Amino acid sequence: MRKIVSTLFVSLDGVVEAPDQWSLSYWNDELEHAVGEGMADADAMLLGRVTYEGFAEAWPGRTDDPGAEFMNSVPKYVASTTLTAVEWSNTTLLHGDLGEAIAELTSTAGGDIMTSGSTTLVRWLLSRGLVDELTLLQYPVVVGKGRRLFPDDGGRLGFRLAASRAFGNGVVRLVYRPVDG
C-alpha cells in the first residue's frame, strides 16, 4: 500500500501561505538535497487546485531547475471541485468521491504519493486520517499573517516525531507520523 506524504514549508508562526515570498532566501544545497530525497521516494503527486494552477504555470517551461524533470514527468492527480480540465502533462483530474479516488490510488503498487503545498487538501487528508507522513520544513522567520496549516477551529490531531534535522541556514526538517489524538 502506498503512503501519502505531505510536505509543506512553514514559518515559525505557522504560516504556509505564499512560501515563495519568505523562503527563497534560505534555499541552499542542504534544502535542495532534502527536497530531492522526498521526490526520490515518490512516483506520484496529489495536488489541490490552487497549487496545481501555480505549478502548472511555473514548471512546464523549466528544464534546468532542480526538480524540473520530476515535476514535469511524474503522474499528477488534482483534487478540485471547480476545475473541469487539466492541461499539464501527466495530470489527471480526480472525479467523484475524493476519498474513494485516494483509496484507489493508495491501493496500487508504487512509491509514495507526495503532496506539496495544497493546504486545503492536506487539511482534508489529515482530518480523515489519510496522511501517513507530514514533513514540515520550518523556516526561521515570522511572517505575521497568512494562511496557517492548522486553523484555530480545527480538531485535535496527534503526531509522533519520526525524524528531525537542522540545516546550517536555520531551517529545520521535521517529519511527523500521525497517532491517535
Instruction: Specify the CATH number for the domain of residue 76.
Output: 3.40.430.10
% of the chain exceeding 70 in pLDDT = 99
Q: How confident is the model at residue 152 (pLDDT cuts 50, 70, 90)?
A: confident
Whether 132 shows a pLDDT value over 60: the answer reads: yes
Question: Full-prediction pTM beyond 0.85?
Answer: yes
Distance in angstroms between the alpha carbons of the first and the last residue of the chain: 23
Given the C-alpha cell 534555499, which residue does it identify?
A: 27
Q: Does 36 score more than 90 pLDDT? A: no
pLDDT in tens, 42-94: 999 999 999 999 999 999 988 887 788 889 999 999 999 899 999 999 999 99
Question: Which three cell numbers mark 130?
Answer: 489519510
Query: Cα separation of 19 and 11, whole Å?
Result: 8
Is the confidence at residue 160, as pLDDT, over 70?
A: yes
HSE-CB for 42 with a 13 A CA cutoff: 26
| Closest C-alpha to 45, from 88, 97, 95, 4 | 4
Most confident residue range from 30-39, 63-72, 122-131: 122-131
Rounded CA-CA distance 57/88 in Å is 9
Instruction: Name the average pLDDT for the chain.
Output: 91
Residue with cell 523562503: 23
Residue with more model confidence, 66 or 122 = 122
Q: Which domain holds residue 156?
A: 4-179
Q: Does the pLDDT value for residue 144 go beyond 60? A: yes
Asked if the model's pLDDT at residue 39 lies above 90, the reply is: no
**Per-residue model confidence (pLDDT) at position 136:** 96
pLDDT on residue 101:
92
* Residue pair 47/121 in contact by the 8 Å Cβ criterion: yes
Residue-level pLDDT at 181:
53
Mean of pLDDT values over 147-162: 86
Q: What is the pLDDT of residue 79?
A: 94
**Residue of 112, 76, 106, 110 lying closest to 94 (CA atoms):** 76
Contacts of 36 (CB under 8 A, 6+ apart): 66, 67
pLDDT at residue 61, rounded to an integer: 85
Q: Report the number of distinct structural domains present in the chain.
A: 1
Rounded CA separation 45/65 (Å): 18
